[in-house]
């Protein structure tokens, strides 16, 4: 009889309720459980494996317990998974058991967000006798680990190998879409460089295919020509027809820009400077466009009063506008959104409630709240759990922190402390000491010194329950806060921030104080743009200097606001489609909100350096 240690507790049985059903004809219960696992039904798979383990003994029982542990780990039942691994015992030198033990521990490490542990454990390729299902699982685990590390090229490489062991058509389709998604997140320039250094193999074929799709995204006729050339170069490439058909079916009408575009901006009023930067970026992109002679751009002043935006919008429609870009102010966008449905497709330059979908209203902007959410996601993928937040007092800091907090806690992170600082000051020692709990350390010292009635050696000790600090700050504050964190014994504590810590202009001497801060920013600022309008940077550099470098991100938003118009239909029709813009890699969600994927860098010797360029 099995001992109680190998039987699922009653509570866990309840969590795994539901039977996988009777085995299909000719399929063993073990094979059925494996198929259930491969299809992502992890709780059902855990139940099936554990029940089979109760009916088995010896090596077979060990194998089933390792499989149950893998399924429990993927179901996010980590303590139970660890217990099953312990119960399975030592795999000794049995190659099959060693592989299954490594898979189980690899799943556990992945769910613990320890990607390097996954790669270390799954370093040796499976032996030739390993089942195709377990081979596919091995390479999927490695792909997931590389994704967590931010190395999307290696993600694609592992998925390409994985496909050799897949037979189910839907799984192959999902795998190819995952390959595409991984490579599509790379810039055109990165794809070109990586492909040039690669052999003419399946992965290189994928990279060239993605590069073609990016380069000719808005030129369907040329896209067909380039796809035909690609097919001649890679006649045996395994890409499925559904992906190629998605490109072959594109027509020029899908990416046709409207002939008459209205640009609604607050040319006068408190947002006039920002509006001017947006306008200049928008017009620079327009004049770069080859078909500009066929398009008319008409600019309207939406002013300071949000309630007048409807009147201005209607004037644009009366003048024949087929597409409207703007307004900029959130209150004006809200006022316009209430006018449903809008007469023509409209690209607002700000975001409203993310849970609402508005007819004919696209939303695009440089949202600090969205950046804060991406900071949370990045820190989570880096394996952190316990966060402390240091944010400026006032509405901006409150909004940014609220967005970070919501996303962080939604993923399972914990905020152990939050402190607000006065952004007008230069000395941030008080909120930093409170954030690091140094005041309690000093209190204990004073109490001990009084008790012993003598002067004792003392070095304040910061709190140890923090993995990283989320910092919301602008350059002046960040340059002071980072050294003060080091002074207060937190030099080794990672600091993550939004793009606001960087002016956008290289100044190594001044920014050296921020070394180690990790932040996300746009390609335009980081000079990593993959677009073919790099010349625009030179053309409008004078305007940037005159208006102030702090507005240069708005120039980039203006450029993307024009260029994205023609890409909206493809982005809407194809969920895996992205547009490489100056503000980031852009995608469209089901609420018609344009999502920006930031580039991640850290200050090193006072200069932003891509994280994947830093070697240990």
DSSP string, 383-429: T--EEEEEEESSHHHHHHHHHHHHHHHHHT-EEEEEEEE-TT-S--H
What CATH class has 169-255?
A: mainly alpha
496: DSSP letter? E
87-124 pLDDT, tens digit per residue, is 999 998 899 999 999 999 999 999 999 999 999 999 99
Check if the beta carbon of residue 403 is closer than 8 Å to that of residue 375: no
Question: What pLDDT is recorded for position 260?
Answer: 96
Residue 182, token pair as written in the block: 């991984």
List phi, psi (to 5°) of 138. Answer: -55, -50
CA 91 to chain centre: 38
Architecture of the structural domain at 369-522+601-613: 3-Layer(aba) Sandwich (3.40)
Check if the beta carbon of residue 137 is closer than 8 Å to that of residue 165: no
SS3 16: coil
466: DSSP letter? -
Q: Where in the chain is the domain with CATH 1.25.40?
A: 4-149, 169-255
Q: If phi over 0 gives left and psi between -120 and 50 gives alpha, with beta otherwise, what is residue 489?
A: left
Question: What pLDDT is recorded for position 26?
Answer: 58
SS (H, E, C) 324-372: EECCCCHHHHHHHHCCCCCCCCEEECCCCCCCCCCCCEEECCCCHHHHH
Most confident of 136-145, 147-156, 216-225: 136-145
Question: What pLDDT is recorded for position 4?
Answer: 31
Identify the CA nearest to 327 among candidates 352, 345, 309.
309
436-489 pLDDT, tens digit per residue, is 987 654 454 454 455 445 555 545 566 788 999 999 999 999 999 999 999 988
375-410 pLDDT, tens digit per residue, is 999 999 888 999 999 999 999 999 999 999 999 999
Check if the beta carbon of residue 185 is closer than 8 Å to that of residue 585: yes
Identify the CA nearest to 518 among candidates 492, 502, 496.
496
**CB neighbour list of residue 534: distance below 8 Å, 6 or more residues apart:** none
**CB neighbour list of residue 572: distance below 8 Å, 6 or more residues apart:** 588, 592
**CB neighbour list of residue 336: distance below 8 Å, 6 or more residues apart:** 309, 310, 313, 327, 342, 346, 348, 361
- In the chain, what percentage of residues exceed pLDDT 90? 65
Strand pairing category for 585-588 and 579-580: antiparallel
Query: How far is it, in rounded angstroms, from Cα 478 to Cα 498?
Result: 11
Residue 115, token pair as written in the block: 């990607």
Superfamily of domain 259-363+532-582: Response regulator (3.40.50.2300)
Average pLDDT over residues 598-615: 82
Residue 112, token pair as written in the block: 């613990």
17-53 pLDDT, tens digit per residue, is 444 444 455 568 888 999 899 888 999 999 999 999 9
Asked whether residue 288 carries a pLDDT value surpassing 90, the answer given is: no
Residue identified by tokens 């012993």 is 452
Query: How far is it, in rounded angstroms, from Cα 574 to Cα 588?
Result: 9
Identify the CA nearest to 364 among candidates 527, 563, 112, 194.
563
List phi, psi (to 5°) of 357. Answer: -115, 130
Cα separations in angstroms, 318 against 260, 262, 295, 322: 12, 11, 17, 10
Check if the beta carbon of residue 204 is closer than 8 Å to that of residue 230: no
**Topology classification of domain 4-149:** 1.25.40
Question: What pLDDT is recorded for position 615?
Answer: 42
540-565 pLDDT, tens digit per residue, is 666 554 554 568 899 999 999 999 99
Cα separations in angstroms, 501 against 359, 548, 601: 36, 16, 12
DSSP element (H, E) containing 264: strand 260-265
Greatest alpha-carbon span in the chain: 87
Question: What pLDDT is recorded for position 614?
Answer: 47
Question: What pLDDT is recorded for position 429?
Answer: 93
Weakest-pLDDT range from 176-180, 194-198, 526-530: 526-530
Query: How far is it, in rounded angstroms, from Cα 207 to Cα 484?
Result: 45
Average pLDDT over residues 326-341: 90
């Amino acid at each position: 009889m099995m001992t109680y240690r190998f039987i699922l507790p009653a509570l866990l049985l309840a969590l795994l309720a539901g039977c996988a059903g009777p085995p299909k004809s000719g399929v063993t219960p073990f094979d059925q459980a494996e198929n259930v696992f491969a299809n992502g039904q992890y709780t059902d798979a855990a139940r099936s494996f554990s029940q089979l383990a109760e009916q088995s003994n010896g090596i077979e029982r060990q194998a089933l317990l390792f499989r149950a542990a893998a399924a429990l780990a993927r179901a996010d039942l980590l303590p139970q998974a660890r217990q099953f691994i312990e119960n399975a015992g030592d795999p000794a030198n049995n190659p099959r058991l060693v592989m299954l033990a490594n898979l189980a521990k690899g799943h556990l490490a992945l769910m613990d967000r320890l990607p390097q542990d996954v790669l270390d454990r799954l370093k040796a390729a499976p032996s030739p006798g390993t089942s195709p299902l377990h081979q596919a699982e091995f390479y999927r685990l490695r792909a997931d680990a590389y994704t967590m590390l931010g190395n999307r090229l290696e993600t694609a490489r592992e998925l390409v190998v994985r496909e050799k062991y897949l037979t189910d058509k839907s799984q192959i389709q999902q795998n190819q879409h995952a390959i595409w998604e991984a490579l599509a997140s790379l810039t055109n320039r990165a794809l070109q460089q990586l492909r040039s250094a690669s052999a003419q193999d399946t992965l290189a074929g994928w990279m060239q295919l993605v590069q073609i799709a990016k380069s000719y995204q808005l030129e369907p006729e040329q896209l067909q020509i380039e796809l035909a050339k690609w097919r001649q170069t890679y006649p045996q490439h395994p890409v499925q027809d559904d992906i190629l058909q998605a490109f072959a079916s594109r027509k020029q009408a899908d990416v046709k820009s409207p002939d008459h575009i209205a640009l609604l901006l607050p040319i006068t009023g408190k947002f006039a400077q920002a509006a001017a930067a947006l306008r200049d970026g928008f017009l620079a992109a327009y004049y770069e466009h080859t078909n500009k002679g066929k398009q008319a751009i008409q600019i309207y002043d939406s002013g300071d009063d949000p309630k007048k935006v409807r009147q201005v919008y209607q004037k644009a429609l009366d003048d024949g506008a087929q597409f409207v870009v703007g307004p900029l102010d959130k209150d004006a966008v809200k006022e316009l959104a209430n006018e449903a449905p809008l007469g023509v497709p409209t690209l607002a330059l700000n975001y409203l409630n993310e849970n609402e979908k508005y007819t004919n209203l696209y939303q695009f902007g440089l949202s600090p709240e969205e950046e804060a959410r991406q900071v949370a996601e990045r820190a989570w993928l880096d394996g952190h759990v316990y966060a402390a937040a240091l944010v400026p007092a006032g509405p901006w800091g409150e909004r940014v922190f609220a967005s970070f907090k919501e996303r962080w806690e939604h993923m399972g992170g914990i905020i152990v402390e939050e402190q607000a600082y006065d952004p007008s000051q230069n000395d941030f020692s008080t909120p930093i000491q409170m954030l690091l709990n140094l005041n309690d350390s000093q209190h204990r010292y004073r109490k001990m010194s009084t008790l012993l009635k003598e002067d004792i050696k003392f070095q304040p000790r910061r709190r140890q329950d923090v993995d990283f600090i989320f910092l919301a700050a602008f350059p002046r504050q960040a340059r002071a806060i980072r050294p003060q964190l080091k002074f207060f014994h937190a030099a080794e504590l990672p600091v993550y921030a939004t793009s606001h810590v960087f002016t956008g202009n290289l100044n190594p001497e001044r920014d050296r104080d921020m070394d180690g801060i990790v932040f996300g920013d746009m390609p335009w600022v980081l000079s990593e743009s993959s677009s073919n309008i790099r010349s625009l940077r030179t053309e409008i550099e004078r305007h940037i200097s005159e208006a102030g470098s702090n507005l240069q991100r708005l120039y980039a938003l203006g450029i993307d606001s024009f260029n994205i118009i023609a890409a909206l239909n493809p982005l809407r029709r194809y969920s895996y489609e992205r547009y490489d813009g100056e503000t980031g890699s852009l995608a469209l969600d089901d609420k018609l909100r344009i999502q920006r994927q930031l580039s991640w860098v850290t200050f090193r010797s006072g200069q932003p350096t891509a994280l994947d360029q830093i070697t240990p």
